[in-house]
Homo-oligomer: A and B are copies of this chain.
């Protein structure tokens, strides 16, 4: 087992009506609140109104910044931070999924340090001061509600990646699965694929970490068991709760203990698709992960054997990859570039951007080079 730090100070309030204590909790942290959210679903599922009511009742001064994009951009973080500084806010409350929460994290740093979002993302800020971040989760997917990671994209530079810093853990996260009961099938499937991808990225990281393996396997089985059931009962609270909690645990650190790093090459590659074609994050992962596994077989075969044995009682590498691919398809997610309207004509620009941004993953034993990247895009274009 590699040396590691395990640290996650976020206080999670999970279950029905937990937002009922948000006002009191936030009032203990400050007076002036910047409320950050996305483009509409939070208005329909009740989470926005419930949060607003709570902040109002607690007598807090509210400044709003809405319209965060599904693939969130640095411009919104900068604009919201400017607004927050002008209003001298004490903390940031995000209502939504990973996009709103990721953006709120960077806003909290930008206000605390009086700096630009891109400098934060590039690790050029020595972060000492961050505003408290409060999350009200409405979508099971990214685990941003329970980790210190933010993923933002810079369209000008054509770069998208994750940045993590211990000051970016939410102080409190309110997770009422009820809000996710109205998530449409498409995004429900995306969330399930996203959480499986997170568990897999750590599974393919560097180092022997037997308990982290067991936790990752448990999370994947939970998603593979609950996912199909949820797709046929979208408004079922218990199934929503099951998937929401699995998603948080898939990237809250418990599958990373004892490893030098996760891998995250599939994430890096997927981000290039989002940059080029605004592909939803999870849709990029359901295409890249099987392609990456197929290409990496000679290097990760022993891990795929263990995974297949544990999950399916079958050590066959081919079968394991196939089972994931079939599962992603059953979640209505694309598994080839053709499934999102691309073809061989796009090969060049995808590979070029992957190379420019040096998509290589983080596991030092399995870093990708130019040839790997080309071969993986070939796999993404294979007939299905």
Contacts and interface: CB of A to CB of B under 8 A. Distances in A.
Contacts of A226: 210
Contacts of A218: 211, 214-215, 217-218
A50 B211 CA distance: 28
A142 to B, nearest CB: 17
Interface in A98-113: none
Contact of A2 (B3, B15, B215, B249): B15
A277 interface: no
Interface string A254-268: 100110000000000
A14 interface: yes
Contacts of A276: none
A265 to B, nearest CB: 25
A8 interface: yes
Interface stretch (A240-248, A295-303, A333-341): A240-248
Interface in A159-208: 208
A12 B1 contact: no
B15 A11 contact: no
22 contacts: A1-B241, A3-B14, A3-B15, A3-B16, A3-B18, A4-B15, A5-B13, A5-B14, A6-B12, A7-B10, A14-B257, A14-B258, A208-B238, A210-B222, A210-B225, A210-B226, A211-B218, A211-B249, A214-B218, A214-B221, A214-B222, A218-B218
Given A9-B9, A14-B6, A1 B214 contact: no
Given A3-B15, A18-B3, A211 B258 contact: no
A245 B258 contact: yes
B219 A211 contact: yes
Q: Which 10 A-B pairs have the closest CB atoms?
A: A3-B15, A214-B218, A6-B12, A9-B9, A7-B11, A1-B241, A211-B222, A4-B14, A211-B245, A218-B218
Contact of A5 (B11, B211, B222): B11
A9 B7 CA distance: 7
Interface string A6-38: 111111111110100000000000000000000
A242 B257 CA distance: 11
Given A215-B218, A217-B218, A218-B215, A242 B6 contact: no
